[in-house]
Homo-oligomer: A and B are copies of this chain.
Amino acid sequence: MHKKLQRFISDYQPIIEDKMNHLLAATNVSDTLKSSMAYSVNAGGKRIRPLLVLATLEDLGVQSDDAVTVACAVELIHTYSLIHDDLPCMDDDDYRRGKLTNHKVYGESVAVLAGDALQTLAFEALATLQDTSAEDALQLIQLLAKASGSAGMVGGQMLDIEGESKRLSLMELENVHVNKTGALLSFSIEAGAILAGLHQQKTAKLKAFAWNIGLAFQIQDDILDITSTTEALGKPVGSDISSDKSTYPSLLGLDGAKERLAEHHRLAGEALAFLEKDQPLLGLFADYIVDRQS
């Protein structure tokens, strides 16, 4: 990872974590519920979405006192979706990032409620910004709702479930990911643009950037699934191609997936030209997403 990005991340990760815990500290009528919400909020994670909000503002050279709160709102949505995703009736995962999942520690009913309440908290955070106009705050809420609801993240999760047992076309696969992960990544960048008061034409460039890194993120995930399996389990590269689940490598082959990844990387970089910066943070983020090994 580029040193400039590394410094940015290590500067801001603790600020994001502090703010999330501050938001959690508000009134909660049940200690168990509060503890369950805090458990998942503090379960680690790269904080990519909140960092993208802050990196966008940094690249645009604008400061906003509300930036960290908005960044945390996206992460709260992401966190709630992970809790519900891990439930026995969904992916049925016992561990996430080496820690027991929420329902394994608190039980399923508490995990459902903790996810529900974290979603609510995200919208509450956006409704109580201090230094943003009411119009901008409403636009942020509207966009976050679209990005995270049935026309975005939750809709994408549903498509993912529906697609598990059938072979998807490339377009269908892209539709899953654009919604399931892309919508929230795009929101993060658009939210930064709104807080910076960026005009529409340039926001469109940032949206193109977001769209491309969203897909790049997923393609690299799919590639790592194969390459890390190869190293760790000694299974031949490409073993997923014959399995039921549609992935970029299963549809395009590993080389085809890598080509597509490179193309999204290139387009993401091009979209940032308007910044007229040598090393925009967002560009370094794109490099990191493409080059990461885990």
Contacts and interface: CB of A to CB of B under 8 A. Distances in A.
Interface of A: 26-30, 32-34, 37, 80-81, 84, 87-90, 107-110, 112-113, 115-117, 119-121, 123-124, 126-128, 133-135, 137-139, 141-142, 145-146, 148-152, 154-159, 161-162, 175, 179
A47 B116 CA distance: 22
Q: Summarize A's interface: helix, strand, loop or mixed.
A: helix
Contact of A120 (B124, B150, B158, B175): B150
A223 to B, nearest CB: 25
Given A117-B154, A150-B28, A159-B29, A127 B142 contact: yes
A135 B135 CA distance: 8
Contact of A28 (B87, B133, B151): B151
B109 A89 contact: yes
B117 A116 contact: no
A152 B30 CA distance: 10
Contact of A113 (B27, B33, B154, B179): B154
Contact of A121 (B28, B150, B156): B150
B121 A145 contact: yes
